[in-house]
Amino acid sequence: MINKLEVSQYFPDEQAKLALYSSDPEDNNCEHSHSFQELVIVEEGHGLHVINGKPIFIQQGDVFFVSGNDVHFYDELGTLKLINILINPQVKFHYLTQIETLLITIAGNSAANYGWLTPETKSHCKQLIDEIFRDEMALPANHALKESLFFKLVTSILYAQSQAEYSNTRYKLHKLLSYLQENCFNEIDWRQLANQFHLTQRTASRHIKEVTGLTPENYLKRLRLVSARVKLKETDMTITEVAFLCGFANSNHFTTSYKKVFGVTPSAERKRAG
């Protein structure tokens, strides 16, 4: 059964519109949904964000929005430190309208939507967050200032995306990893992929290893295995069907790889989930 996180657990009171939750390290490794929304900034580390059954690699500087309809968890691939700005949909903003239409542009259910913040922009956003959640900001008279700071935070994040320098290697890597996540079940021509993002194959390979701790081939396999894990738990597909769908040539190779990473066979995983 999927755990649902409630407003009463994470907000100072149920009439609060915004709340702050910081994790060091991130501890939400069990699949869950929530009765609130989240604007998430990856402050440090890296890992896999598995949302609605899809694994998406996240790293320092990434930013995304999780709606109340999403089901997600974080699969440990490193040590994640996250900043979560929680939004209570049951309470209206006093002055802001249509803010969700902006947040949806960085919806976390697709890797292509994820934003990325330079260290300078991330530092600026953290300053805004500190201001939003200063104790005196909780006073009713400060609704307008608090909401204006939240609007400034959201627009700063979106502006950062429009200004991202394509010559920035970190940004190129962010886009390359997003592409891999959307196409992880396909065969990858690593030289062609590097050229597509204006990188040499050696540079792309080195940066993927530095960021994920895995070689490009092993990282791709990890994405496929995490996807397979979700399908084993949530569908009635046979193990062979899951193996082929997730890019493995045969079920024996799939079973061996799965046990090496997760410590159990696919069939044992399915029994445990049942």
For the chain, residues classed under CATH 1.10.10.60 are 168-274
In CATH terms, the superfamily for domain 3-163 is Regulatory protein AraC (2.60.120.280)
Which of 207, 201, 206, 196 has the alpha carbon at shortest distance from 173? Answer: 207
Residue of higher predicted confidence among 160 and 17? 17
Dist CA 76 CA 81 (whole Å)? 11
Dist CA 191 CA 205 (whole Å)? 10
The number of beta carbons lying within 10 Å of the beta carbon of residue 196 is 14
**pTM of the predicted model as reported, rounded to 2 decimal places:** 0.79
Mean pLDDT of 236-260: 92
Res 105 pLDDT > 80? yes
Dist CA 65 CA 102 (whole Å)? 10
Mean pLDDT of 35-46: 93
Res 164 pLDDT > 70? no
For the chain, residues classed under CATH 2.60.120.280 are 3-163
Which of 47-51, 53-57, 167-171, 221-225 is predicted with the least confidence, judged by mean pLDDT? 167-171
Q: What is the pLDDT of residues 68-104, one digit of tens each?
A: 999 998 876 567 899 999 999 999 999 998 999 999 9
Token reading at 168: 């920035």
Question: How high is the mean pLDDT of the chain?
Answer: 88
What confidence score (pLDDT) does residue 189 get?
94
The burial of 179, by beta-carbon neighbours within 10 Å (0-12 exposed, 13-18 middle, 19 or more buried), is given as middle
Q: Measure Cα distances from 192 to 196, 226, 259 in Å.
A: 6, 25, 31
What confidence score (pLDDT) does residue 62 get?
92
Classified by CATH at the fold level, domain 168-274 comes out as Arc Repressor Mutant, subunit A (1.10.10)
Q: Do 107 and 55 form a contact (C-beta atoms < 8 A)? A: no
Res 26 pLDDT > 60? no
Mean pLDDT of 29-57: 89
Res 49 pLDDT > 80? yes
Residue of higher predicted confidence among 65 and 231? 65
Res 257 pLDDT > 70? yes
Q: What is the pLDDT of residues 108-152, one digit of tens each?
A: 998 889 998 988 899 999 999 999 998 766 666 688 889 999 999
Q: What is the pLDDT of residues 196-241, one digit of tens each?
A: 988 899 999 998 998 888 899 999 999 999 889 888 988 889 999 9
What confidence score (pLDDT) does residue 246 get?
92
